[in-house]
Amino acid sequence: MKSFFTSRKAMAAVSCISLAALLVSGTFAWTSLNSQKVNEWRGNGSTSQGPGGSLHDDHDNSKTNDPRKDVYIENWGDKMIYARVRLSEYMEIGPGAGQIQGNSNPLTRLAANTSTPLLAGTVLSGGVIQFTPHIPNGTDPTDCGEEFHVYWDWEMGGGKIYKPATEAEKEAGRLNNSSVLSDNNDYDRLSGDLKNTLSGGVYVLDSNSTPGTGWFIDKEGWAYWGGFLMPGQATSLLLHKVTRTNTPIPDNYYYAINVEAHMWDAPDVLTSTSPSVGTSAEPDDITSLIQGVGVEKPSDDALEFLKKIFIKTADEGAFVIEPDEAKDIIEEIFVTE
């Protein structure tokens, strides 16, 4: 059962990092955005366009500490896809804060950077920075309970008018094996090729969560989209704004948000009238996610949530086979032992 979107790690993954550093005097500011190639996208010979998507991270690096930080996923392919995103944080305060080796992966502090990490243990050997996943502390998805949010407020959820990926950007995404797009424009009305994202909230995922339009954050920090994303759709916003609180910071500081995005297409046995059969031992993408093959396995609550999404999609008749037959296959897909 081979999908159109199979990769060596059985997923499409993209990431970007938004970085902000400010001298306490306010005389200097720096923001940067980075994206990184992480895996391959390979097709199975179908004449269709196949699945494809982009992580949108709209943050204007030319503006001093631009508060806008719109994070969402666009499906520009012709197959339904599933997406999850994880936001992780890092902060340091003191002399040399923000002196980071440019374009390094992982981010690495320069020797002159003698600042103190906000959280102990988040600078590893050789100055490598370790980000801390944003995991809600209680029912408020904007507060992870860590000290980051003494200094930073997050606004999450909602929707916006956005510019979809161009044909050139889609092709670049296929060739470069990942796609992170950033648009610094603000649109107040639809015109030309502009579209609306979906609009929804951000919630804490638990065993009682039901699928719906919005993001659901689990105990590992992964935000799961509340359903399959159909071709031509863009999710609602996971993150919208990041602003400083009124709590003073006594020295130079540096704050960074790492955005990881994973996208999978549904198993072609559910979505194709002529699925591939037995040509490879490599599982399809979404099964790799469920089984934790080459990717971090979802939490128990997330697995239950994903199964609810599959069943709901089957009930709605969105798969090419009959709902009862689809549900039998779904039961097999979600056997994780």
Percent of the chain whose pLDDT exceeds 70:
81
Dihedral sign (CA 138, 134, 228, 301): negative
Sign of CA dihedral 240, 265, 218, 323: positive
Pairwise pLDDT comparison (254 vs 50), residue with the higher score: 254
Strand partners, 172: none
Asked if the model's pLDDT at residue 39 lies above 50, the reply is: no
pLDDT above 50 for 30: no
What pLDDT is attached to residue 193?
93
Query: Does 42 score more than 90 pLDDT?
Result: no
Distance CA 250, CA 199 (A): 38
Check whether 279 has a pLDDT greater than 80: no
Mean pLDDT of all residues belonging to the chain: 83
Q: What pLDDT does 337 receive?
A: 65
Instruction: Report the largest interatomic distance among the alpha carbons of the chain, rounded to a whole angstrom.
Output: 65
Q: What are the residue ranges spanned by the domains of the chain?
A: 12-266
The pLDDT of residue 293 is: 83
Per-residue pLDDT for 10 more than 90? Answer: no
Average pLDDT over residues 5-12: 38
pLDDT of residue 287: 82
Q: How many CA atoms lie within 13 A of 5 on its CB side?
A: 32
Determine if the peptide bond prior to 323 is cis (ω within 30°).
no
Paired strand residues for 89: 132, 257
Q: Output the CA torsion sign for 134, 137, 143, 147.
A: negative
- The Cα-based distances of 211 to 82, 170, 226, 302, 310 in angstroms read 13, 29, 5, 11, 10
pLDDT at residue 199 tops 50: yes
pLDDT at site 32: 32
The SS3 assignment for 246 reads coil
Q: How confident is the model at residue 268 (pLDDT cuts 50, 70, 90)?
A: confident
Question: Which uninterrupted H or E stretch holds 289?
Answer: helix 285-291
pLDDT score for 225? 98
